[in-house]
Structure formats: structure tokens, C-alpha cells
């Protein structure tokens, strides 16, 4: 049993898309076995048993009412940790280049290739973004950049895995290099370094770029988040990879998903001005505490902890350091722990990035995971997702 991967009740409920009460019913009927771990008061369940139950219950559901399950070999959230093809993302983040992690997600091979795009594609995409109004967010440029990259790629309709894997590095490179420079021209030694110069005028440091690279690694994928579902549904219609990424960017732009980063940035900004307790009180009054808590990590988001550890090593002004520490300490008294959104916003403050930086970091990083899911979805039957509408409107008149 020591080699079995074990899940908590909450993790089983998430994977089976059911309520915890249903799990208890499965246990009482002998459908699912509970595992007692010495020294723990909670029950756990074998991952293999849960997967077998998932495949059986999915097969017995009426196809017209429930769409086929989205299975993935890319990412697993289990035991309070995030894993990319079996490797712990939080352990990869401080020591592994983003390019290597992206290749691991796409191919299952660990190699660091240079991510480059043609000068023509980069220049055209950058010029297209320059036509946006002055008040446009940095994130607003990304859909334009992806659309231009698609239009310049004559092989975009070739959906073979090798072709999709081959275009992905150039797409990510274009998404970064077509953004306007804020700092000086960086040496071409990695995507994180080049992204740094697009987000801040602060000179790049080894520790700063390391933290930014870690943020990219930690945000590269997160199982079937809303934007990833949008990507897979688009890919199921055999939309080309660029179009599928555009679907993901649309979902990511929601304030309850990737766009939450600017809210967390403003939250830290308010705490710097008014104090941590006052900022927390005000944000709670208006509906929530951005950057704290995560339903999949009840004991704390390991991504946030890993990135905050790297941010703490950067030169930080006394007021900002105290503010970040006070926010974490004060929120902890309410049982709220910092998540990766808080850590990315803290990184943005410490490195002189603006409020829109977190959204760009999130989008660039998550594109790597989306490409992995696109490749998986192209291997499935096309147009396989069709949900029942649950119509609640007026009854039609008889014909």
C-alpha cells in the first residue's frame, strides 16, 4: 500500500465531479474502499480505485445528458500538490527553465530548446498591437499577437502532434517578443529574461529572473481550469492551435480567473497605503480577499509558497516587505493562506512591474499547458462535447 497514491475526500469529489456525501454513500455500499493512514484521522482513497470508478460511472451515464470526460496525462492535483506528468511543479520551479518544463508537458522529454520566432512574425505582431488605444492593458495585446502569428503560419491547419509541438515554441516566443520593451534590450538567453524587459524597467537580476521563471513554471498548467476547458472544447471542433489558444485567452480574461492578478496587485497597493488590517477589512466588505485561499489546496497553495520563498530573497523595501508579511499574517488568523496569485502580485510589486503584469505572466505561462491539452484533444473523437441545455423557457406551441 505504501506505493499507492492516496487522495483526500475533497480531491476525490473534485476528480469525480460529485459531492462528498456521494463518496460516503459509495463507501457504505462497498463501491469505493477507504484507506486509513496511521497517525491521520481523515480517510483517504487510492487513486487507482478512484480512476476505475470514474471510468465505470462515466460509461453508465446517458451520453445525451453528460459530455464525455476530459482525461489528461498532463497534470495531476493530488495530495495537496501539483504535478506535471508526475513531477512536482513546486520542486521544478526554482531550478528548471520554463522552456524545459514546456517541452516536458508537450512531449514527456526534458530538454531546453531555444524558443525563437521569425523576425517577420514578431515585427508584424508588434506593429498590430501598436494600433491599440493608449489605455489598453498589456494583456490586450496578446490576442492580437496570437491572431497575427496564426495568419503568418501556413501550417496552422496541420494538427499532427509533431507539427503542433514544433509551432509552440515560436508562438510563445512571439507572445513575449512582440510586447513593447519597457526596460533595456535583454540578452537572448531565455524567455523569462525577455519577458522581464517587457514588464519592468528595473534592471534584470539573476534572482529576479529566477523568480519570474518560477512563476511561469508554476502557472504553466492546472488541470482542467475554466480556460483549459475552453481550449479543449475548441480543439474538439478541430480549431487550429492558435484559435484554441485564443479561446483560452478569452476565458482567462475573466476577473475570477487570470485577470484576478490586477485585483491582487491593487489589494497590496491598498495595504501599502492604509495598512494590512484596513485593506483586508475593506476588501472583505466589498466581497472577498483576492490572492488568498484555493479550493483545491485547503492546507495552502504550494505554488504560492514556492514563489513567495523566491520573492523573499529579492531586495525589497522595508515598507513593502512589512506590508506583504502583515497581509500574510493577518489573513492567516482567518485561516486564509496566500495562493499563487498573491505571490505573482507580490513579485510584480517587488520588481517594479505594473498592475497588468500578473495577467501577462499567467497568459504566457498557461499557453504552454494549453498546447499540451490541444495535442491530447486532437487524439480524441472530434465534436465530442455536447451538453444538454436544461431548457427553462416557455413551452412551444403545438405545431
Q: Which of 107-121, 197-211, 286-300 has the lowest mean pLDDT?
A: 286-300
Query: How large is the average pLDDT for residues 370-397?
Result: 87
Residues ≥6 apart with Cβ < 8 Å to 360 = 138, 139, 142, 179, 195, 198, 199
Q: Are 181 and 257 within one domain?
A: yes
- b/e per residue, 54-78, with b = 16+ CB within 10 A? beebbeeeeeeeebebbebebbbbb
Q: Are 226 and 368 within one domain?
A: yes
User: Do the domain assignments include residue 112?
Assistant: yes
Name the pLDDT band for 48 (thresholds 50, 70, 90).
confident
Query: How large is the average pLDDT for residues 170-181?
Result: 97
User: Do the domain assignments include residue 396?
Assistant: no
Q: Rounded CA gap, 33 and 324, in Å?
A: 43
User: Do the domain assignments include residue 57?
Assistant: yes
Residue 399 has pLDDT above 80, yes or no: no
pLDDT number for residue 387 = 77
Q: Could you please report the per-residue DSSP string of 53-64?
A: HHHHHHHHS-TT
Q: Look at residue 372 and give its three-state secondary structure.
A: helix
What CATH number does residue 129 fall under? Answer: 1.10.580.10
Paired strand residues for 76: 83
Is 196:208 a contact under the CB 8 Å cutoff?
A: yes
Across the chain, what does the average pLDDT equal? 91
Q: Which of 12-21, 138-147, 155-164, 388-397 has the lowest mean pLDDT?
A: 388-397
Task: Count H helices and E strands in the chain, helices first.
Answer: 18, 6
Query: How large is the average pLDDT for residues 172-184?
Result: 94
Which residue segment(s) compose the domain that 356 sits in?
A: 96-383
Residue 163 has pLDDT above 90, yes or no: yes
Neighbours of 222 (CB within 10 A): 20
Instruction: Give me the percent of the chain exceeding a pLDDT of 90.
Output: 70
Does the pTM surpass 0.75? The reply is yes
pLDDT number for residue 58 = 54
Among 23, 15, 59, residue whose Cα is nearest residue 42: 23
Residues ≥6 apart with Cβ < 8 Å to 65 = 388
Q: Look at residue 150 and give its three-state secondary structure.
A: helix
Query: How large is the average pLDDT for residues 197-213?
Result: 96
Who wins on pLDDT, 331 or 24? Answer: 331
Is 369:105 a contact under the CB 8 Å cutoff?
A: yes
- b/e per residue, 194-212, with b = 16+ CB within 10 A? bbbbbbbeeebeeebbbbb
Which entry of 294, 301, 349, 373 is annotated as an active-site residue?
294
Residues ≥6 apart with Cβ < 8 Å to 338 = 291, 292, 301, 304, 305, 308, 327, 328, 331
Asked if 341 is an active-site residue, the reply is: yes
Query: How large is the average pLDDT for residues 216-245?
Result: 97
Which entry of 223, 341, 349, 373 is annotated as an active-site residue?
341
Q: Are 180 and 243 within one domain?
A: yes
Is 63:74 a contact under the CB 8 Å cutoff?
A: no
Q: Which of 22-36, 100-114, 173-187, 359-373 has the lowest mean pLDDT?
A: 22-36
Name the pLDDT band for 184 (thresholds 50, 70, 90).
confident
Asked if 83 is an active-site residue, the reply is: no
pLDDT number for residue 67 = 61
Query: How large is the average pLDDT for residues 158-187?
Result: 94
Looking at the structure of the chain, the number of domains it has is 2
Q: Are 375 and 289 within one domain?
A: yes
Q: Are 211 and 268 within one domain?
A: yes
Who wins on pLDDT, 184 or 221? Answer: 221
Q: Are 378 and 314 within one domain?
A: yes
Q: Which three three-digit cell numbers place residue 330? A: 493577518
Q: Are 127 and 60 within one domain?
A: no
232-272 pLDDT tens trace: 999 999 999 999 999 999 999 998 898 899 999 999 999 99
Q: Look at residue 5 and give its three-state secondary structure.
A: coil
Amino acid at each position: 500500500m505504501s506505493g499507492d497514491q492516496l487522495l483526500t475526500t475533497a480531491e476525490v469529489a473534485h476528480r469525480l465531479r460529485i459531492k462528498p456525501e456521494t463518496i460516503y454513500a459509495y463507501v457504505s455500499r462497498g463501491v469505493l474502499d477507504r484507506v486509513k493512514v496511521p497517525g491521520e484521522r481523515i480517510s483517504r482513497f487510492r487513486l487507482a480505485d478512484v480512476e476505475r470508478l470514474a471510468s465505470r460511472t462515466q460509461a453508465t451515464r446517458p451520453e445525451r445528458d453528460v459530455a464525455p470526460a476530459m482525461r489528461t496525462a498532463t497534470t495531476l492535483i493530488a495530495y495537496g500538490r501539483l504535478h506535471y506528468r508526475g513531477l512536482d511543479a513546486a520542486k521544478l520551479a526554482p531550478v528548471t527553465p520554463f522552456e524545459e518544463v514546456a517541452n516536458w508537458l508537450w512531449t514527456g522529454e526534458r530538454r531546453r530548446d531555444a524558443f525563437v520566432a521569425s523576425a517577420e512574425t514578431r515585427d508584424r505582431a508588434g506593429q498590430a498591437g501598436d494600433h491599440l488605444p493608449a489605455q489598453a492593458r498589456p494583456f490586450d495585446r496578446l490576442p492580437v499577437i496570437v491572431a497575427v502569428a496564426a495568419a503568418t503560419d501556413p501550417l496552422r491547419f496541420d494538427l499532427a502532434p509533431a507539427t503542433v509541438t514544433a509551432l509552440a515554441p515560436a508562438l510563445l516566443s512571439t507572445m513575449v517578443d512582440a510586447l513593447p520593451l519597457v526596460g533595456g534590450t535583454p540578452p537572448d538567453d531565455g524567455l523569462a529574461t525577455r519577458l522581464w524587459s517587457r514588464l519592468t524597467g528595473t534592471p534584470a537580476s539573476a534572482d529576479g529572473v529566477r523568480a519570474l521563471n518560477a512563476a511561469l513554471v508554476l502557472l504553466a498548467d492546472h488541470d482542467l481550469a475554466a480556460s483549459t476547458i475552453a481550449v479543449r472544447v475548441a480543439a474538439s471542433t478541430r480549431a487550429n492551435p492558435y484559435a484554441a489558444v485564443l479561446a483560452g485567452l478569452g476565458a482567462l480574461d475573466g476577473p475570477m480567473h487570470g485577470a484576478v492578478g490586477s485585483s491582487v496587485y491593487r489589494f497590496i497597493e491598498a495595504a501599502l497605503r492604509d495598512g494590512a488590517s484596513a485593506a483586508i477589512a475593506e476588501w472583505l466588505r466589498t466581497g472577498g480577499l483576492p490572492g488568498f485561499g484555493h479550493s483545491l489546496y485547503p492546507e495552502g497553495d504550494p505554488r504560492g509558497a514556492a514563489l513567495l520563498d523566491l520573492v523573499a530573497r529579492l531586495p525589497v523595501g522595508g515598507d513593502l516587505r512589512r506590508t506583504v508579511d502583515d497581509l500574510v499574517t493577518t489573513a492567516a488568523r482567518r485561516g486564509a493562506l496566500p495562493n499563487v496569485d498573491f505571490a505573482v502580485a507580490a513579485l510584480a510589486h517587488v520588481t517594479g512591474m505594473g498592475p497588468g503584469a500578473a495577467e501577462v505572466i499567467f497568459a504566457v505561462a498557461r499557453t504552454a499547458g494549453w498546447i499540451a491539452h490541444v495535442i491530447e484533444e486532437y487524439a480524441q473523437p472530434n465534436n465530442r462535447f455536447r451538453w444538454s441545455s436544461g431548457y427553462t423557457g416557455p413551452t412551444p406551441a403545438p405545431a
